[in-house]
Structure 1
Amino acid sequence: MDFLNVVVRFFQEGGPFMFPIAIVLALGLAIAIERFVFLGSARRTNKKAFAQIEPMLSARQFDKILQLGQQNRAPVSRVIAAGIARLKLSPRREDVEYAMEEGLMETIPRLEKRTPYLGTLANISTLLGLLGTIIGLIAAFSAVANADPAEKASLLSQSISVAMNTTAFGLIAAIPLLACHSLLQTKTTEIVDSMEMAGVKCINLLMSRQGVSASTRASDE
Structure 2
Amino acid sequence: MLSIIQAAGWPIWPLLLCSVAALALVVERSMALRRRQVAPAGLVDEVLQVLRQGVPSGDVLGKLAANSVMGMLLATGIRTMAQDPRCSETLLRDSFEAAGRSAAHKLERYLNALATIASAAPLLGLLGTVIGMIEIFGSQAPGSSGANPAQLAHGISVALYNTAFGLMVAIPSLMCHRFFRGRVNDYLHDMEQGAERVVHQLLRMDRHPPERHQGSKR
TM-score (norm 1): 0.80
1:68 partnered with 2:77: no
**TM-score, length of structure 2 as denominator length:** 0.81
The Cα shift of 1:153 comes to: 8.9
> Which whole-Å deviations, capped at 9, do the CAs of 1:157-204 have from their partners, x for residues lacking one?
773354122111101110100111111111111111111111001111
Report SS of the residue matched to 2:186.
helix
Structure with higher helix content: 1
- 1:176 equivalent to 2:207? Answer no
Q: Is the 8 A contact 1:14 1:166 kept in 2?
A: yes
Counterpart pick for 1:112 among 95, 101, 108: 108
Counterpart check, 1:53 vs 2:47: yes
Whether the 8 Å CA contact 2:139–2:148 is kept in 1: the answer is: no
**In structure 1, C-alpha distance between the alignment counterparts of 2:160 and 2:24, rounded to whole Å:** 27
2:72 equivalent to 1:78 = yes
Other-structure match for 1:190: 186
CA distance in 1: counterparts of 2:138 and 2:48, whole angstroms:
73
Q: Secondary structure at the match of 2:10?
A: coil
Determine whether 1:20 maps to 2:14: yes
Partner residue, 1:37: 31
Which shows bigger deviation, 77-86 or 49-58? 49-58
1:59 is displaced (CA, Å) by 1.5
Per the alignment, residue 94 of structure 2 pairs with 98
Aligned-residue RMSD, C-alpha:
2.7
Aligned residue for 1:144, secondary structure, equals coil
- Consecutive unaligned residues of structure 1, counting only runs of 5 or more, are 1-6
Q: Is the 8 A contact 2:70 2:191 kept in 1?
A: yes
Q: What amino acid is aligned across from residue 12 of structure 2 in structure 1? A: M
Alpha-carbon distance, 1:49 to partner = 3.9
Do the aligned residues in 2 keep the contact of 1:87 with 1:95 (CA within 8 Å)?
Answer: no
* CA drift at 1:48: 5.6
**Structure 2 unaligned spans of 5+:** 212-218
In the alignment, the residues of structure 2 paired with residue 68 and residue 96 of structure 1 have an alpha-carbon distance, to the nearest angstrom, of: 21
State the Cα distance separating 1:27 from its structure 2 match: 0.8
